[in-house]
Amino acid sequence: MTTPLFEIKDLQVRTASGDDDGVKILKGVDLTIGVGEVHALMGPSGSGKSTLAAVLLGSPEYVVTSGRIRFKGDDITDWPTDVRGKAGLFLAFQHPQEIAGVSVLNFLRQALSARKGMDMSVLELRSTLMDWMAKLGMDSAFLECHVNESLSGEEKKRYEILQMAILEPEMAVLDETDSGLNIDALVAVATGVQAVRAEQPDLGLLAMTQHQRLLEHLKPDQVHVLNNGRIVASGGPELALTLERDGYESFR
């Protein structure tokens, strides 16, 4: 039997606190993603999507009270965030953070060194970045900017995809990457994701969203509905169309 790329089993999660009284958010999530598969996780605000994304990358804001997370067959439930990242997990944030004083070029050079143990020269990395930025429709002046400083929401989301392209993860989680984007920006970002997948066909992808329009471009293999901390329905791309027509109330 082939080992799944990514597997979540009965994942139950509460907020971190000094005692056992944290708020329970995830109440038994099961999800399996194979090599090269695209899965979409849809759900209304407050359903637990962003919590799940944070937990998958080891956020200390949450405590796993039950269940396991496996990546390429390894149990990574207790692995720290940096180890998960080096192993090939990637998270594109819904609200990317600014890092004052750190240029995009230097940030990516350090991140690539940590991820792959390779010290690419500034000239070589700049050349690679310029190629990808052309694919993503990004201005070359962006390389001299500080990470996410003075950038629009669209530019921040494109930068997340640029990071994914350069770091070449094996499993990527997109936490509502379409949030706050207009139609043109959404198409540009989705096209960027597809360009990365074309270069890395084995990349597993979990895209979290509230709306079907992103999925028109990503064309997921499976769609799951998360509501009140549980996956309440799974199916093919047609499930997203049902959600668009009937809303989340029909899946409570």
| Domains with residue ranges and CATH for the chain | 6-93+169-251 (3.40.50.300)
Question: Does the structure show a pLDDT above 80 at 15?
Answer: yes
pLDDT at 18: 62
pLDDT at 17: 76
Contacts of 75 (CB under 8 A, 6+ apart): 68, 69
pLDDT at 21: 73
Of residues 226 and 183, the one with the higher pLDDT is: 226
| 3-state DSSP of 80-97 | CHHHHHHHCEEEECCCCC
User: Does residue 62 contact residue 51 with C-beta atoms inside 8 Å?
Assistant: yes
Question: Does the structure show a pLDDT above 80 at 5?
Answer: yes
Q: What is the mean pLDDT of residues 104-131?
A: 85
Question: Does the structure show a pLDDT above 70 at 104?
Answer: yes
Residue 124: band (very low, low, confident or very high) from pLDDT cuts 50, 70, 90: confident
Residues 119, 114: Cα–Cα separation, whole Å: 9
Q: What is the mean pLDDT of residues 94-99?
A: 76
Residue 91: band (very low, low, confident or very high) from pLDDT cuts 50, 70, 90: very high
pLDDT at 19: 62
Bridge partners of 172, per DSSP, are: 90, 205
pTM of the model as a whole = 0.91
In the block, residue with structure tokens 């360009």:
195
Q: What is the mean pLDDT of residues 186-210?
A: 92
Contacts of 121 (CB under 8 A, 6+ apart): none
Q: What is the mean pLDDT of residues 41-55?
A: 93
pLDDT at 125: 86
User: Does residue 53 contact residue 226 with C-beta atoms inside 8 Å?
Assistant: no
